[in-house]
Chain A
Amino acid sequence: MNIVVTVKQVPDTWAEKKLDPSDMTTDRATVDNVLNEMDEYGVEEALLLKEAHGGEVTAVTMGPDKAVEAVRKALQMGADKGVHLCDASLHGSDALQTASALAKVIAPLNPDVVIVSSEASDARGGVVGALLAEYLGLPQLTLARKVTADPGGGTVTIERQTDNGYATVLGKLPVVVGVIEKINEPRYPSFKGIMAAKKKPLVTMTAADAGIDPGSAGPSGAYSEVDEAQPRPPKAAGQVVKDEGDGGAKLAAFLADQKLV
């Protein structure tokens, strides 16, 4: 199977994130950046599919120069090839533009399965899987908590997480699969994997290489605009008391006083 997995470099989950006031985009310069934690589940699922059915895994990202580190991490985990869409004109693209640009990179790779994760921990849109299905015209098998491929039968079946359980969903290859957190146990790159990754093919593409219309990229082509951004005002300090054997009763009194119970 020809498997493509999308990855994104994001500020570390544990970092205090903020917007760059100059252009209202996520500030990536003042924080540690890592492979989006959720994407590790996507990469792992791609590797599991490859191990079960053969083929190769290509990790694709879009982002500034250093975002290539996200692809490199995927290569270290075991992906075979990498593609990095990197172009200053793409900076400030919104989710619709990003998904559209990724679709332009992914389509010529002729994947059987495109794997995305449920969301990135910075923007938390959770829409790229659905949008890739839309732009690529492929079955949307997202919010998957279990993925079963049947390359012989030409299908993929997933368990799609719902509010109160799951739905069994089937799509004919090629498909877009979106995986949720905890679907698997992502592997750590081994020393061998880290060494091998250095020799794996990694292509850098510009917007023009991908056939992206320059007018459609970046803030000028965006579908929405940020007017202002402010840090949340600090919360007024609350009351913290030590339990002297009546902590539960005090808390109950507080809740009753606030008419919350």
Chain B
Amino acid sequence: MAEVLVLVEHADGEPKKVTAELLTLARRFGEPSAVFLGGPGTYAKAKDFLARYGAQKVYVAESADIDGYVVAPKAEVLAGLFGSAAPAALLVAATAEGREVAARAAAKTGSGLVWDVVDVAPGLVVTQQVFGGSTIVRSHVTKGTPVITVRPNSAAPEEAPATPEEQQVDVAVSDAAKAAQVSDRVVEGKSGRPDLTEASIVVSGGRGLGAAENFRLVEELADLMGGAVGASRAATDAGWYPHQAQVGQTGKTVSPQLYVAVGISGAIQHRAGMQTSKTIVAINKDPEAPIFELADFGIVGDLFNVVPQLTEELRKRQ
């Protein structure tokens, strides 16, 4: 079976859950080879994880240049591997940076790019849910090595312990790829909550919350369930919650196991970012709110009564 390259998504070496999802997907149509790109000494933290999820091989490219310049060095290393490993495909997490890396790797190698894929079938036919999930498209790449970005939470990670062969990759970044230089990285607002796009549970608040301080109801519920906090555009436009948390047509697309919509009417702008969630529950005082058309379970009522009671009940059950 041909190698399938999987770009490891990680934070300073700690692999993200989506990496396990990509390795699981890759096993369906080839032998997964993880590609680890990171700063010196970061791979050690990823090693066991990649073995556990079935990487048959790991290409390890550690260099200060990987994070020292924006995107281009990563794309160069990947393009080099297309030549040496002749993989069947490259899978990359469809994150903000992942899609940029994938695009430049595709452009460098004259390869086709398909993005935000939710499933990959044998024959490398991919499934996408476009227009906010309202249309399901199947397509395939026709040129080069298919470069596929995969939406987080698209596959359930399955362990498949392996003993990967490690291959060190020389990182010789061209001057051209050193054009956008990173001088500083700043970590902000560490909430301790999971990433919005990766989280299995997302609790989002909207206009119904009425004020910034009421987001604590949403945060409390999210923290109790180990979820991430999202917000509708109405809430971010009002300045109640940071824009990075916005779920919708403009903003993030999420596809968690459980989506809890609190005081969100469910306008198309919002639905486009969350309607592929596996289970949707909604709390809204307006029985006509479109969010109820999507909800597996909805409560028509005052969120200021329902949410505290829900939080209290869940706390009792823990």
Contact = CB atoms under 8 A, between A and B. Distances in A.
A133 B302 CA distance: 50
Given A140-B100, A164-B187, A249 B115 contact: no
A223 B111 contact: yes
Contacts of B306: 243, 247-248, 251
B142 A225 contact: yes
Contacts of A161: 96, 244
Interface in B203-252: 225, 236, 243-244, 246, 249-251
A243 B310 CA distance: 12
Interface residues of A, number: 86
B107 A135 contact: yes
Interface stretch (A44-52, A54-62, A205-213, A252-260): A252-260
A189 interface: no
A241 B280 CA distance: 14
Nearest to B108: A134
Contacts of B140: 224-225, 227
A172 interface: yes
Given A223-B144, A240-B292, A165 B188 contact: yes
Query: Looking at chain A's contact residues, is the secondary structure mostly helix, strand, loop, or mixed?
Result: mixed
Contact of A14 (B136, B225, B269): B269
Contacts of B182: 160, 167-169
Given A13-B250, A248-B310, A251-B310, A130 B96 contact: no
B184 A224 contact: no
Contacts of A235: 293-294
B298 A168 contact: no
Nearest to A253: B313
A248 B104 contact: no
B158 interface: no
B131 A252 contact: no
A228 to B, nearest CB: 5
B99 A243 contact: no
B104 A261 contact: no
Interface residues of B, number: 96
B201 A239 contact: no
Nearest to B251: A181
B308 interface: yes
Interface string B288-318: 0000111111111110011111111110010
A231 interface: yes
Nearest to A223: B112
A11 B253 CA distance: 18
Nearest to B198: A163
B73 to A, nearest CB: 11
Given A130-B71, A130-B99, A140-B180, 18 more contacts: A38-B250, A95-B103, A126-B115, A133-B180, A140-B71, A161-B96, A164-B188, A165-B185, A167-B185, A171-B181, A172-B179, A223-B106, A223-B113, A226-B139, A228-B137, A248-B307, A254-B281, A256-B317
5 contacts: A13-B268, A161-B244, A225-B140, A235-B293, A251-B299
Interface of B: 11, 70-72, 75, 95-97, 99-104, 106-108, 111-116, 125, 129-144, 176, 179-190, 195, 201, 225, 236, 243-244, 246, 249-251, 253, 257-258, 267-269, 279-281, 283, 287, 292-302, 305-314, 317
Interface of A: 13-19, 24, 37-38, 94-96, 99-100, 118, 121-127, 129-131, 133-135, 137-143, 160-172, 175, 181-182, 222-232, 235, 237-243, 245-256, 258, 260-261
